[in-house]
Amino acid sequence: MKAYMYDNLPGDQRLAHDSGRVVDVDALKKIGVLYYRLPELESLNKLAEERGYKNRDEIVVSPEKMGDVYESKVKMFFDEHLHEDEEIRYIRGGQGYFDVRSQEDDWVRIQLEKDDMIILPAGIYHRFTTDESNYVHAMRLFKEEPKWTPLNRSSDLDGNEHRQAYVSQYLT
């Protein structure tokens, strides 16, 4: 895992966009983002049990697997959004970037690779993209039935109970 401030320069979202300003694991924790390195599935299973993750599935994001919809899906994943549940991703192969909003509302880019796991709290604004390899294989974990409902950022979301809970816990 490597985390840093996003450079905000124009160009393909799949490029590194590394500003050179490093963000450490403690800074990620301050905004509610948890990171784990789990090289054995046994460790993942233990953490899943401890945190109450009952369900999981796997997704491969690549042109070969997704065909003609790949480019539109990657663009959709990159729209800034939040979820009303935690977002838990364990990378089984390839690489990708999760961008999350800092306390100052700037983008922090988190590069994940095989055996990296990230937990984003409900209510945090974020987005995802593959890197230039156009391939990531991820396991998605869920506390309840699998669902993935993105709520795109808008002023209407300011009153969302999950957004308000996130703001009061991490941004005040």
| CA atoms within 13 Å, Cβ hemisphere of 34 | 12
For residues 126 and 77, what is the distance between their CA atoms, to the nearest angstrom? Answer: 9
Helices (H) and strands (E) in the chain, counts: 5, 11
Binding-site residue numbers for Ni(2+) are: 81, 83, 87, 126
CA-to-CA dists, residue 13 to 27, 44, 78, 129, angstroms: 23, 29, 8, 7
Binding-site residue numbers for Fe(2+) are: 81, 83, 87, 126
Residue 143 is classified by DSSP as S
Binding-site residue numbers are: 81, 83, 87, 126
